């Protein structure tokens, strides 16, 4: 007698493996939501096998820096792309990508940004000169001296 893998419920071994992968591959909050969903739904053996393969191939996101490691409003550069990191109302950081002179929400980009990607002072100044926005805090530069330096007076006093 053959069994259809998509009608049989997942095995206990698959259940354990899925919970382990969910915990390893996602942030704690996301892992909790996935685990709760999984505990209330019956997944077929075939679908569980597919999901396990998908999660095994997934980038490990547990290395994402802690919330305290990012700085709200700071600029980060990844592969030549400038991002501004912001703290959302629910306490999670997200990234906005610089497109022209505007920042637009970049879904998933926060997962690629590391604390070590924070722009250096020289990079921040170059950015500030180009965009007339302080390369350290993101405020609009209006003073001609600040525009020429690429950094506002308050941020300049912190760095010099």
Confidence band of 57 (pLDDT split at 50, 70, 90): confident
Q: Answer positive or negative: Cα dihedral of 142, 145, 150, 151.
A: negative
DSSP string, 22-79: HHHHS-HHHHHHHHHHHHHS--BHHHHHHHHHHHHHS---TTSPPGGGS-TT-EEEET
Q: If residue 24 lies in a helix (H) or strand (E), which one and from where to where?
A: helix 12-25
In degrees and rounded to multiples of 5, residue 83 shows phi and psi of -125, 145
Are residues 46 and 81 part of one domain? no
Are residues 79 and 30 part of one domain? no
- What integer is the mean pLDDT of 53-78? 70
Give residue 4's pLDDT.
60
Are residues 46 and 93 part of one domain? no
CA–CA gap between residue 6 and residue 46 (Å, rounded): 5
Q: If you search the block for the tokens 């990191």, which residue do you land on?
A: 85
Give the pLDDT confidence of 71-91 residue by residue, as tens digits.
788 889 898 888 989 888 777
Are residues 153 and 75 part of one domain? yes
What would the two tokens of residue 60 be?
């490990």
| Residue 3 domain-assigned (yes or no) | no
DSSP one-letter code for 58: S
Give the predicted TM-score (pTM) of the model.
0.52
Q: If you search the block for the tokens 């053996």, which residue do you land on?
A: 45
| Residue 120 domain-assigned (yes or no) | yes
Give the pLDDT confidence of 87-115 residue by residue, as tens digits.
887 777 889 998 876 789 998 888 888 88
Q: For the CA atoms of the chain, what is the radius of gyration?
A: 22
Are residues 71 and 149 part of one domain? yes
Are residues 150 and 73 part of one domain? yes
Work out how many domains the chain is built from and give that number. 2
Q: How many C-beta atoms lie closer than 10 Å to residue 68's C-beta?
A: 6
Are residues 80 and 51 part of one domain? no
Are residues 114 and 71 part of one domain? yes
| Residue 123 domain-assigned (yes or no) | yes
Are residues 150 and 76 part of one domain? yes
Domain that holds residue 21: 12-57
Confidence band of 1 (pLDDT split at 50, 70, 90): very low
| Residue 155 domain-assigned (yes or no) | yes
Give the pLDDT confidence of 105-155 residue by residue, as tens digits.
998 888 888 888 888 888 888 888 988 888 777 788 999 999 999 988 888
Are residues 94 and 31 part of one domain? no
């Amino acid at each position: 007698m053959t069994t259809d893998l998509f009608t049989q419920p997942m095995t206990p071994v698959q259940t354990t493996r899925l919970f382990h992968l969910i915990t390893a591959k996602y942030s704690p909050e996301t892992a909790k939501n996935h685990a709760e969903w999984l505990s209330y739904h019956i997944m077929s053996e075939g679908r569980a096998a597919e999901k396990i393969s998908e999660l095994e191939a997934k980038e490990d996101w547990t290395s994402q820096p802690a919330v305290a490691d990012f700085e709200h409003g700071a600029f980060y550069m990844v592969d030549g792309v400038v991002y501004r990191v912001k703290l959302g109302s629910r306490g999670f950081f997200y990234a906005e990508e610089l497109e022209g002179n505007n920042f637009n929400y970049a879904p998933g980009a926060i997962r690629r940004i590391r604390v070590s990607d924070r722009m250096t002072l020289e990079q921040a100044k170059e950015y500030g000169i180009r965009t007339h926005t302080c390369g350290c805090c993101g405020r609009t530069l209006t003073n001609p001296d600040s525009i020429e330096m690429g950094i506002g007076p308050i941020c300049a006093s912190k760095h010099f």
